[in-house]
Structure 1
Amino acid sequence: MTAQLGEDSGPRARTRKAILEAAMTVLAESPAAPLNEIATAAGVGRSTLHRHFPERTDLIHALARHVHALSTTAIEEAEPLSGPPIAALRRVVECQLDLGPIFLYVYNEPTVMADPELRAHLDTGDEAIGEVLTRMSCTATPPGWARRVFWALIQAGAEAARADGTPKHQIVDAIIDSLTEGAINPNQG
């Protein structure tokens, strides 16, 4: 246990975290950015980056796991099983949107999607969201449908923020409305 704590809090762990945080920012803005841009943003040399991540794929896979850990922690902190379901969903939507465009990168990155073990790992940690959505559902849907819709809306929200500059509060409202009322009002037009 002590060795684990030392590994998580020592200089090597701090450097690794700085690289991952820099990769989140750089790759969300420019998915094809070279590793030297990530190293510069992290405040380390390229050789240091390569000591931690010998290949670009190693960095991308570690980044996917890092983003997943941040997402899972944010879900837990949002306490989706507490309080009214709509309020719980709003908290979860807000915290996931804080991760922003890195979702778009990680969940669309070919090297991530090509790794079945990593994909399986990324498909965990959001079980509480599924429970809330299932509690709210009044129609029969295919298994996992509401959860897939939730994550598709989060990705659409991140894209709207990035591409259009839509304010976060409008995106949150649109996602909640889409989940609870549907995206199209049949009474209009």
Structure 2
Amino acid sequence: MNAPSAAEGGSRSRTRRAILDAAMTVFAADPGASLADVATAAEVGRSTLHRYFSERTDLLRALALHVHALSNAAIARAEPNCGPPVEALRRVVECQLDLGPIVPFVYNEPTILADPQIAAELDTGDEVIVEVLDRAATQGSAGPPGWPRLVFWALLTAGYDAARKGTPRVQVVDAIMASLTTGTINPHHP
């Protein structure tokens, strides 16, 4: 009796994950995309998508938590507390850059941020980034409280945009690292 239930649970989980993965791609490319666009990308019918997420808001909330979990898992895989601070910071930058432009979408989408519970959840998990930023700082910390964290995410957002426009990934990572560790920006590159 339990086998069909377990199989159904696995199938439901795979379908839900396919919808969320498709939503990541679709909304990163077009923040105004419809649920029909997501259903098409997930290769499911609209009725199937609506069984999982009855409204766009439901999908956006689930997407936010999904991306947040992926970001936290990526941070853990980067092992930010291991090795020299600058190398650890580079691994964290690379792992977050790999998540792509869905990250700034999730953290800036008004529908998501309007939910206080989701917004509070999204505001957790990156404390280790601040710790590695503090360890890697070559000239101390400047700015108001929380500034290194804000700068980190702003530079990543710029990095997502630069990568989307064709800048080689290694160049994007190098530019982010230079800005984070030495505060320099090469004026000869756009």
Is TM-score (shorter-chain normalized) higher than 0.5?
Answer: yes
Partner of 2:173: 172
Whole-angstrom distance in 1 between the partners of 2:181 and 2:170: 16
* Change beyond 3 A, Cα 1:8–1:151: farther
Large movers: runs of 4+ above 4 Å: 6-9
How much has 1:141 moved relative to structure 2? 3.8
Matched, 1:35 2:23: no
Number of residue pairs aligned between Structure 1 and Structure 2: 181
Q: 1:60 to 1:7 in 2, by over 3 A?
A: farther
CA distance in structure 2 between the partners assigned to 1:29 and 1:11 by the alignment = 27
In 2, the alpha carbon distance for the partners of 1:60 and 1:125 equals: 19
Give the match for residue 11 of structure 1: 11
Correspondence for 1:122: 122
User: Following TM superposition, by how much is the alpha carbon of 1:185 offset from its aligned partner in structure 2, in angstroms?
Assistant: 6.9
Contact 2:19 2:38 in 1 (8 A): yes
Instruction: Write the distance in 1 (CA, Å) between the matches of 2:106 and 2:81.
Output: 26
- Aligned: 1:63 with 2:63: yes
Structure 1 regions of 5+ residues with no counterpart?
Answer: 1-5
Return the alpha-carbon distance in structure 2 between the equivalents of residues 161 and 147 of structure 1.
21
Structure-1-length-normalised TM-score: 0.89
TM-score, normalised by the number of residues in structure 2: 0.89
- SS in structure 1 at match of 2:125: coil
CA distance in 2, matches of 1:139, 1:8: 52
Corresponding position of 1:92: 92
Over residues 69-110 of structure 1, what are the superposed CA-to-partner deviations in whole Å (9 max), with x where a residue is unaligned?
Answer: 000000000000100111001101111111111112112211
Structure 2 gaps, min length 5 = 1-5
| Change beyond 3 A, Cα 1:185–1:170 | closer
Once residues 52 and 80 of structure 1 are traced to their aligned partners in structure 2, the CA distance between those partners, rounded to angstroms, is 35
| Aligned-partner residue type, residue 161 of structure 1 | A
For 1:46, the aligned partner's letter is R
Distance 2:82 2:30 in 1: 37
Is the 1:153–1:175 contact (alpha carbons within 8 Å) kept by the matching residues of 2? yes
Q: CA RMSD in A?
A: 2.0
* Percent identity of equivalent pairs: 66
Contact 1:7 1:13 in 2 (8 A): no
